[in-house]
Every structure is written in structure tokens, then in C-alpha cells.
Homo-oligomer: A and B are copies of this chain.
């Protein structure tokens, strides 16, 4: 299973965006400074967020990014999927006709990982950006 800092950065950046994009687009430079994330890395992340229609961009001076939906419509699942952090548990080698390890049937843990994935995803599907904003109404910068 993977869940690394790329996903975490994405969430941090989007929360930042949600709090500051009320008037003007927010530049990645600002997010980079406020959140302490490398600008180059942010660009990679936002490129994916944009492809997945989570943010919109405006070019040019005073340009930047804006959320493309309301914070309560952006679930964490959407974010993680966008940056390729599928909550993927370890795969059994081949899901061929034969089963998992070349054995005739599914391996013992097969259903277990499926259940786990469901369990975790349900957590991410409930949480939206808005929820995070509420929990962090104290100022961060």
C-alpha cells in the first residue's frame, strides 16, 4: 500500500488554495512559500490536479490556480486519484485464471486486502476539503 508525501502535499496545497483563492488566483510560488513545498514539485502535482479538473489555471501576471469546484465537492478520493496515489494494497502476482500464486484458488489474503481497500476508501470518500478547512480554522500563516 502506498500513501506518500505527494498525496499529502496535494492536500496541503489544495487547502491552502481553498483559503486564499477567494479574490484572485493563487500562484504556486505563494503556496510554495506558505507550505514549504518545492515549487518544481508543486508544478508536477498541479499539472495532474488540472488534468483531473480539480483546479483551473489562469496564465500571465497575476495568474495562478483556483479550485474548479466548491470545497465540499472535492473529496480526498478525488485528490489522491488525481496524483496517482491509488490506495493500492499489494497485488497478488497475477490475477490470471489460475488464481494468485499459480495456485488453483485465490490466496488466503486476497479478500482481506479487498476489504481493507474498501475500508480506507470509505474514509477518503467521506472527507472533503471543506472538512479540513473547518478543522483548521486557526490561522496557519
Tallying the copies of this chain within the complex gives 2
Contacts A102-B36, A103-B140, A119-B123; A108 near B15 (Cβ below 8 A) = yes
> Which residues A41-88 have CB closer than 8 A to chain B?
none
- Bound: A116/B8 CA distance, A: 12
The answer to whether B16 and A89 touch across the interface, beta carbons within 8 angstroms, is no
The answer to whether A103 and B36 touch across the interface, beta carbons within 8 angstroms, is yes
Q: Which residues of B contact A139 (CB under 8 A)?
A: 105
- Bound: A3/B88 CA distance, A: 9
The answer to whether B140 and A90 touch across the interface, beta carbons within 8 angstroms, is no
Contacts A15-B108, A119-B120, A120-B119; A8 near B141 (Cβ below 8 A) = no
Nearest first, the 6 A-B pairs at minimum CB distance are A1-B3, A36-B101, A15-B108, A5-B90, A119-B123, A108-B136
